[in-house]
């Protein structure tokens, strides 16, 4: 419609990255409410582990942190979790709060006589622990955009379905941050109206693979392979091929349990028909210190 989509927080001076409350029982499982990692993130989180160049192709971060859709740090989400033997389940309902989507013209001005909001969403995941170290995962999330652009009514579905696998533990999220040896994570997904590129939503197919080895001396070399392909045709704003793909080489050093120094380098191999878009996907590097409070 000649405009661009974005998500904005305009009412709150301060807001949570994560903040939730809940209750748990050894038999009946747990129930939590608030801004929390969504059920689908169980799948996406298998590779979203390095500090900078990770999560690009997991489909969880539409409109920033995935709070609006419920796939990442879900807003106002009710999540029930329980396990039966080697099987763990998560069921999620994300209530419609602050669901308005900002609509802007190409020049940055607000679109007149137009409004769009994201309705309540739901999702689920299932994890099967084949062994103490090896797990298989699957999940989905679904919601709807509703509103109008001028006189055109909008009723579109946002959806993602994915699978994943992981072997071992990664120090960042391991209990007490105690982890050693090999970690491997993988996920792949197909999505509908879930990838936001240049202000427009696309269907997409994505996959990520991560491997890392955690040495006893604190060094953690790692490799991430990332792939995302947009479903483009003659009706989409981007009409040619758009495939973002890169490799990330990283080295973390765990100086202590609380202090980690890191270097990560992104080597881009993207393939796009539009040279301007391809130029936006460049080689990059990052260095820093991660401190756990």
Tell the residue number behind the tokens 């996920």, with chain if given.
187
Name residues of the chain where pLDDT drops below 50.
1-2
In angstroms, rounded to a whole number, what is the distance separating the alpha carbons of residues 228 and 214? 28
Cβ atoms within 10 Å of 190's Cβ, excluding its own = 16
Cβ atoms within 10 Å of 79's Cβ, excluding its own = 25
Task: Give domain 3-291's CATH architecture.
Answer: Beta Barrel (2.40)
Across the chain, mean pLDDT equals 89
Note the pLDDT of residue 219: 97
DSSP letter, residue 111: P
Q: What tens digit of pLDDT does each residue of 130-145 get?
A: 999 999 999 999 998 8
Note the pLDDT of residue 1: 40
Q: What angle do CA 32, 36, 42 make, to 5 degrees?
A: 95
Q: Identify the CA nearest to 212 among candidates 2, 14, 50.
A: 50
Encoded tokens for 284: 């990059």
Note the pLDDT of residue 12: 56
Note the pLDDT of residue 198: 80
Domain regions of the chain by residue span: 3-291
């Amino acid at each position: 419609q000649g405009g661009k989509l974005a998500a904005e927080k305009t009412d709150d001076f301060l807001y949570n990255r994560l903040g939730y409350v809940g209750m748990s029982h050894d038999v009946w499982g747990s129930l939590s409410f608030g801004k929390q990692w969504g059920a689908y993130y169980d799948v996406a989180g298998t590779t979203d582990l390095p500090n900078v160049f990770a999560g690009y192709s997991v489909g969880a971060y539409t409109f920033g942190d995935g709070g609006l859709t419920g796939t990442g740090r879900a807003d106002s989400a009710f999540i029930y979790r329980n396990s039966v033997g080697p099987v763990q389940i998560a069921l999620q309902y994300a209530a419609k709060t602050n669901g308005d989507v900002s609509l802007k013209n190409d020049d940055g001005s607000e679109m007149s006589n137009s409004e769009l909001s994201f309705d309540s969403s739901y999702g689920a995941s299932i994890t099967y622990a084949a062994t103490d170290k090896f797990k298989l995962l699957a999940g989905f999330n679904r919601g709807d955009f509703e509103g109008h652009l001028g006189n055109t009514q909008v009723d579109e579905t946002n959806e993602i379905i994915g699978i994943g696998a992981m072997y071992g533990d990664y120090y960042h999220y391991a209990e007490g941050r105690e982890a050693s040896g090999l970690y491997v994570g993988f996920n792949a997904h197909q999505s509908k109206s879930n990838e936001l590129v240049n202000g427009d939503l696309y269907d997409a197919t994505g996959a990520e693979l991560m491997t890392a080895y955690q040495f006893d001396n604190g060094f953690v070399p790692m490799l991430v392979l990332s792939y995302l392909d947009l479903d483009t045709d003659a009706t989409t704003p981007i009409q040619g091929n758009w495939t973002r793909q890169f490799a990330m080489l990283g080295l973390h050093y765990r100086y202590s349990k609380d202090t980690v120094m890191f270097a990560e380098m992104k080597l881009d191999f993207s393939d796009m028909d539009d040279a301007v878009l391809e130029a936006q996907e460049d080689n990059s590097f990052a260095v820093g210190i991660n401190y756990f409070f």
